A and B are shown apart, each in its own frame.
Chain A
Amino acid sequence: MPNLQPYQNPTYFVWLIGGLIPLMIGLLRGKRWRLYETGLSLAFLLLTFGAEKYHQGLALVAYVIFEVALLYLYLHYRQKHNSGWIFTAAVALAIAPLVMVKLTPFIFGKASLLGFLGISYLTFKVVGIVMEIRDGAIKELKFFELVHFILFFPTISSGPIDRYRRFLSDYQTVVSKDEYLEMLEKGVHNIFLGFLYKFILAYLFGTVWLPQVGHLALAHGGFSWWLVLYMYVYAMDLFFDFAGYSLFAVGISYFMGVKTPINFNKPFLAPNIKEFWNRWHMSLSFWFRDYIYMRFVFFVMKNKLLQDRILISQVGYLVLFLIMGFWHGLTWYYIVYGLYHALAIIICDMWLRFKKKHRLPHNKATKALGVVITFNTVCLSFLIFSGFLDKLFF
């Protein structure tokens, strides 16, 4: 049996589109053929997690059984009680497999047996459900739909991170023919734009230019114009590669009648860093905003742990971006990347308050200046993130 990684090569797309056609015919006729869809999902999961990757497949099965059992247990508990400690324990257990997978290489020097492609993204979805059960926003779980949500194959490897209630409402309704035709059109558009991004632009920036520029920067050593160029080339590669992948994932979801949220919205045109995070890897930053930042701020304010509201928001940003940094990996440059963004957004907030207070002018020129500053701030953060400085200086 062959092994195919999602969206990596033309063969995958040929099989995928072929497999989706019956499903699309069904949706056009107002029917969601669940049995077929389930079979198709299993087949594609097997393609990705079968053959030589079977150990990942086993880890995935074990993971899903564990997390689903945990969700049911917590829901059962939450129907009668609501202790903050049990909630904290449920979140800790939900992230435990991910933490182990992240820590194992650091401690034992080899990859964990529990790891599989996409474990982070599945964990984000599960933790979101735990939090919404706590809030009473999720009062029941539907087993089949829950497993389908967690294992939704178009987004399994790297998101975008959808939300259970949103997914469920898409999955339980079949859109009208006109609306579905519109979704197909958007899907096709996304997939072709994805081809341009991932297979042409990311290829040029990442596979052709990046190694050359990197080589020159290393040969020169220290700070050089090659390093500056490396920074921009890396930023472009990162964007086109991930945005391209995300376009595929969203496009294929649309074909399946599911409106998976988008991940990128012209991030390099953001006028400030705060706005940048509303446009870059959006499903992740919104996840962090809703499930970490807002809950942290809510908790601190409600329990009056800190008085100064500005300070609360600054501590919130530090918590958010440090967790994001640690999630990327236990390496100095990921942690510094997190701190850097926390500081950038704190400074941005100070500036926005200053600007409001002194009624500073706001026009096209100031906005353009903002875009340039933001773009360069972000590119520098990606250079830190790339780990290239680690190679260059250490």
Chain B
Amino acid sequence: MQTTILDILEDLTASDEVRNNLDLNLFETGLLDSMATVQLLLELQSQCGIEVPVSEFDRSAWDTPNKIIKQVERLS
């Protein structure tokens, strides 16, 4: 699961920083924005089979690779 998520993030951010630092703040660094967030939600749906409605997406709970992994584990 973790590898899938990191692959998605690396692809979306076009950067391998997400692999090297799992506590990197993706929004403050500008690596993710709302557009990329929606892509992330859609990829999670197609690759991991979990549905995350936009309402459940609270930036502060999804702002680092580690937190995203935790959220996906909680929801799957």
- Chain A: residues with CB nearer than 8 A to chain B? 131-132, 135-138, 274, 289-290, 293-295, 297-298, 301-302, 309, 312-313, 316, 352, 356
Let me know if A135 and B56 touch, CB within 8 A. Answer: yes
A301 touches B39 (CB 8 A): yes
Closest Cβ of chain A to B28, distance in Å, is 10
Residue among A274, A289, A293, A298 with the highest chain B CB neighbour number at 10 A: A298
Using Cβ atoms and an 8 Å threshold, which residues of chain B touch A295? 54
Tell me, rounded to whole Å, the shortest Cβ–Cβ distance linking B39 to chain A.
Answer: 7
Contact status B56-A294, CB under 8 Å: no
Whether the Cβ atoms of B34 and A297 lie closer than 8 Å is yes
Q: A298-B41, A298-B42, A352-B30 are in contact. Are A312 and B56 (CB under 8 A)?
A: no
Complex Cα distance, B14 from A290, in Å, reads 24
From residue A305, how far is it (CB to closest CB) to chain B in Å? 13
A-B contact pairs, 15 of them (CB 8 A): A132-B55, A135-B54, A135-B56, A136-B55, A137-B55, A137-B56, A138-B55, A289-B34, A294-B34, A294-B38, A295-B54, A309-B39, A313-B35, A352-B30, A356-B14
Contact of B53 among A137, A274, A301 (CB under 8 A): A137
Contacts of A131 in B (CB 8 A): 55
Alpha-carbon distance between A309 and B34 when the two chains are bound, in angstroms: 12
Residue from B14, B33, B57 in contact with A274 in the complex, judged by beta carbons closer than 8 Å:
B33
Residue of chain B at shortest CB distance from A298: B38
| Residues of chain A contacted by B56 (CB below 8 angstroms) | 135, 137
- B25 contacts chain A at the CB level, 8 A cutoff: no
Interface of A is mostly: helix
Q: Does B66 belong to the interface (CB within 8 Å)?
A: no
Using CB atoms and an 8 Å cutoff, list the residues of chain B in contact with chain A: 14, 30, 33-35, 37-39, 41-42, 53-57
Complex partner residue of B35 from A132, A136, A309, A356, CB under 8 angstroms? A309
Closest to A297 in B: B38
- Tell me whether A136 and B53 are in contact (CB under 8 A): yes
Which residues of chain B have C-beta atoms less than 8 A from A298's C-beta?
Answer: 38, 41-42, 54
Q: Once the chains bind, are A301 and B55 in contact (CB under 8 Å)?
A: no
Q: Is the CB of A135 within 8 A of B53?
A: yes
Report B-chain residues with C-beta under 8 Å of the C-beta of A289: 34
Task: Tell whether, in the assembled complex, residue A290 and residue B54 are in contact, meaning their CB atoms are under 8 Å apart.
Answer: yes
**Nearest CB in chain A: distance from B29 CB, A:** 11
> Are B37 and A294 in contact, with the CB atoms below 8 A?
yes
Counting chain B CB atoms within 10 Å of each CB, the highest count among A132, A297, A312 belongs to A297
B38 close to A301 (CB less than 8 A): yes
Docked CA distance A136–B75 (Å): 14
Across-interface contacts of A316 in B (CB, < 8 A): 35
Q: Which of B30, B35, B57 has the most CB of A within 10 A?
A: B35
Residues from chain A with a CB closer than 8 A to the CB of B57 are 290, 294
Q: How far is the CB of A272 from chain B (nearest CB, A)?
A: 9
The 7 closest A-B pairs by CB, nearest first: A135-B53, A137-B55, A135-B55, A313-B35, A132-B55, A297-B38, A298-B38
Cα–Cα distance between A316 and B37 once the two chains are bound (Å): 14
| Cα-based distance from A137 to B38 in the complex (angstroms) | 17
Given A294-B57, A313-B35; 17 other pairs, CB 8 A cutoff? A135-B53, A135-B55, A136-B53, A137-B53, A274-B33, A290-B57, A293-B34, A294-B34, A294-B37, A294-B38, A294-B54, A295-B54, A298-B54, A301-B38, A301-B42, A309-B35, A352-B30
- Which residue of B has the minimal Cβ distance to A138? B55
A295 to B35, CA, bound (A): 10
Residue of A at shortest CB range from B35? A313
